[in-house]
Structure 1
Amino acid sequence: MESSAERHRLERALAGSLPMAVIAPEGTMTGFARLVTDYTVFSYLRDVFVLPDHRGRGLAGWLARAIRTHPELAGVQTWMLATRDAHAVHESAGFRPVPHPECYMSVPKP
């Protein structure tokens, strides 16, 4: 069971994002992604998932392409994402390895 703090954190994350879902014909959610974006200069695609029963059908790639072609995001200049194992899926939506990974930095989780 989730705590109220976890729920609040999720609600804040969604409020600051553009969430997208894949809905099956019967109305159940089969996939999800959210985009952290300013709608102009930068967009960070994250939290992409497809439920196990629906994997292998190209839904994650379709979802990434749908997000990349969303009319409100047409002017975005820089797109980013991080993935451990779905490089080929996201390449179908135009993502490529960063040209100079040595220039990128992050703040590690505590």
Structure 2
Amino acid sequence: KFLRALPTKWHLKVTAIQEYKDLSTLLLEELIGNLKAYEVVLEKDSETSKNKKEKYKSLALKAKKVSSAEEASSSDSEDEEYAMAVRDFKKFFRRRGKFIRQPHDDKKAFRKAK
């Protein structure tokens, strides 16, 4: 009954005691001594893990994007450059006389320019 009342972090030790020793012949003082020794080990482990967490504490920073007038004008100029490139591309194909789009016709969707 005494072993069943222990918290879950003690289950490993309880299982080891149950498998290793005959509980009907185990003295209460011996059982308490084993559990106290295990408690000291648990405390040392928790201190060690706590120190490691403090030693390697990491930080996460959030970045905010601040749009300045210079950045806004550069994005506007990029949009203008893109629009100019599209216009030049369309002009190039119109001058070459290839694939001029005609109204939808049942026979041909595209025809060559004369």
* Bucket of the pairwise TM-score, normalised by the shorter protein: under 0.3
| Structure with the largest fraction of strand | 1
Comparing both chains, which one has the higher relative contact order based on Cα–Cα distances under 8 Å and sequence gaps of 6 or more? 1
TM-score under structure 1 length normalisation: 0.19
Highest Rg: 1 or 2? Answer: 2
| Structure with the largest fraction of helix | 2
